[in-house]
A and B are shown apart, each in its own frame.
Chain A
Amino acid sequence: MRKLGYVVATLMVLAVLLAGCTSNTQNTPPVSQKAETRVITDMAGRQVEIPVVIERTAFFGGPIGQVPYILGVEDTVVATSIGSKNSQLLNIMDPELKGVSAPRQTNGIINIEELIKSNPQFVIAGTVDGGIVEKQTTLPVVYFFDSSDGTAQQTKDEVTFIGYIYGKDERARLYGDYMDRMLALVRSRVADIPPGERKVLYNGYDPNHLITYGGDTYMQERIETSGLKNAAQEINTSGVKPGIHAGLDQVSMEQVLKWNPDIIVIDSGTPEEMYSDPKWNSIKAVQNKQIYRLPNGVFVWNRPSAESAVLHPLWMAKIAYPERFTDISLEQEVKKFYHDAFMYDLTDEQVKKLLSGEYASAISAGKGQANQTSMGNR
Chain B
Amino acid sequence: MRVGEGTMVKHQDGKRQWGKENYSLLRVALIVLLAIVTVISLMVGRFEVSPTDVVTAILSVFYPAPDLSPTIRSVIVDVRLPRVIAVILVGAGLSVAGAAFQGLFRNPLVSPDILGVSAGAGFGAAIALLVTENIFVTQVMAFVTGIFAVGLAYAISRVYRVTSTLTLVLAGIVVGALFQALTSLVKYVADPFNRLPAIVFWLMGSFNHISTSDLVVAVPLLLGGIGVLYVIRWRINVISMGEEDARALGVNLEREKTIIITAATVISAVSVSICGIVGWIGLVIPHVGRILVGPDHKLLIPAAALVGASYLLVVDTVARTVTVTEIPIGIITALIGAPVFAYLLRKNQTGWN
Contact with A along B185-211 (1 / 0, CB 8 A): 001111111111110110000101101
Q: Which residues of A contact B47 (CB under 8 A)?
A: 254-255, 257-258
Asked if B320 CB lies within 8 Å of chain A CBs, one says: yes
Nearest B residue to A208 by beta-carbon distance? B209
User: Which one, B70, B133, B206, B208, contacts A282 given CB within 8 A?
Assistant: B70
User: A207 to nearest B CB, angstroms?
Assistant: 5
Contact with B along A208-246 (1 / 0, CB 8 A): 101100100000000000000000101101000011110
Nearest A residue to B128 by beta-carbon distance? A207
User: Which one, A207, A237, A255, A300, contacts B193 given CB within 8 A?
Assistant: A300
B197–A254 CB distance below 8 A:
no
Asked if A277 CB lies within 8 Å of chain B CBs, one says: yes
Chain A binding site: helix, strand, loop or mixed by DSSP? loop
A262→B104 CA distance, assembly (Å): 54
User: Which one, A235, A277, A366, contacts B211 given CB within 8 A?
Assistant: A277
Q: Which residues of A contact B349 (CB under 8 A)?
A: none
Q: Which residues of B contact A243 (CB under 8 A)?
A: 187, 196-197, 200
A273→B213 CA distance, assembly (Å): 13
User: Which one, B45, B189, B196, contacts A254 given CB within 8 A?
Assistant: B45
Q: Which residues of B contact A331 (CB under 8 A)?
A: none
User: B71 to nearest A CB, angstroms?
Assistant: 4
Given contacts A210-B326, A282-B71, A363-B130, A258 and B46 within 8 Å (CB-CB):
yes
Asked if A8 CB lies within 8 Å of chain B CBs, one says: no
User: Which one, A207, A249, A267, contacts B129 given CB within 8 A?
Assistant: A207
User: B278 to nearest A CB, angstroms?
Assistant: 15
Asked if A3 CB lies within 8 Å of chain B CBs, one says: no
Q: Which residues of A contact B187 (CB under 8 A)?
A: 243
A278→B328 CA distance, assembly (Å): 24
A56→B120 CA distance, assembly (Å): 44
A268–B133 CB distance below 8 A:
yes
A61→B206 CA distance, assembly (Å): 30
Asked if B78 CB lies within 8 Å of chain A CBs, one says: yes
A278–B78 CB distance below 8 A:
yes
User: A211 to nearest B CB, angstroms?
Assistant: 6
Q: Which residues of A contact B191 (CB under 8 A)?
A: 83, 86, 360-364
Nearest A residue to B212 by beta-carbon distance? A278
B131–A254 CB distance below 8 A:
no
B201–A361 CB distance below 8 A:
no
Asked if A252 CB lies within 8 Å of chain B CBs, one says: yes
Contact with A along B318-353 (1 / 0, CB 8 A): 001100111010000000000000000000000000
Asked if A374 CB lies within 8 Å of chain B CBs, one says: yes
User: B351 to nearest A CB, angstroms?
Assistant: 36
Asked if B33 CB lies within 8 Å of chain A CBs, one says: no
Asked if A253 CB lies within 8 Å of chain B CBs, one says: yes
A149→B194 CA distance, assembly (Å): 20
A279→B197 CA distance, assembly (Å): 22
Q: Which residues of A contact B209 (CB under 8 A)?
A: 208, 210, 253
Q: List residues of B (238-274) whose CB comes within 8 Å of A's CBs.
A: none
Q: Which residues of A contact B213 (CB under 8 A)?
A: 277
User: B31 to nearest A CB, angstroms?
Assistant: 27
A-B contact count (CB 8 A): 151
User: Which one, B130, B211, B324, contacts A278 given CB within 8 A?
Assistant: B211
B198–A268 CB distance below 8 A:
yes
Given contacts A210-B209, A235-B324, A362-B191, A377 and B131 within 8 Å (CB-CB):
yes
Asked if B132 CB lies within 8 Å of chain A CBs, one says: yes
A242→B330 CA distance, assembly (Å): 14
User: Which one, B201, B212, B325, contacts A244 given CB within 8 A?
Assistant: B201
Q: Which residues of A contact B60 (CB under 8 A)?
A: none
Q: Which residues of B contact A234 (CB under 8 A)?
A: 324
Asked if B74 CB lies within 8 Å of chain A CBs, one says: yes
Given contacts A253-B208, A268-B133, A282-B74, A303 and B197 within 8 Å (CB-CB):
no
Given contacts A244-B196, A281-B74, A207 and B133 within 8 Å (CB-CB):
yes
Asked if A290 CB lies within 8 Å of chain B CBs, one says: no
Asked if B80 CB lies within 8 Å of chain A CBs, one says: yes
User: A212 to nearest B CB, angstroms?
Assistant: 9
B74–A206 CB distance below 8 A:
no
Asked if B26 CB lies within 8 Å of chain A CBs, one says: no
B328–A362 CB distance below 8 A:
no
Nearest A residue to B196 by beta-carbon distance? A243
A365–B189 CB distance below 8 A:
yes
Q: Which residues of A contact B193 (CB under 8 A)?
A: 62, 83, 245, 299-300, 302-303
20 new A-B contacts at CB < 8 Å, known A279-B79, A378-B132: A62-B192, A207-B198, A210-B209, A232-B324, A245-B192, A245-B193, A249-B326, A250-B201, A250-B208, A254-B79, A254-B80, A257-B47, A268-B194, A273-B134, A282-B73, A361-B191, A362-B190, A362-B194, A364-B190, A365-B188
**Chain B residues in contact with chain A, CB under 8 A?**
45-47, 70-71, 73-75, 78-80, 83, 129-135, 138, 187-198, 200-201, 206, 208-209, 211-213, 320-321, 324-326, 328
A-B contact pairs, 11 of them (CB 8 A): A105-B188, A244-B197, A250-B328, A251-B326, A268-B198, A273-B134, A279-B211, A281-B70, A299-B193, A364-B191, A364-B192
In order of increasing CB-CB distance, the 6 nearest A-B pairs are A268-B133, A282-B74, A208-B209, A243-B200, A364-B191, A282-B71
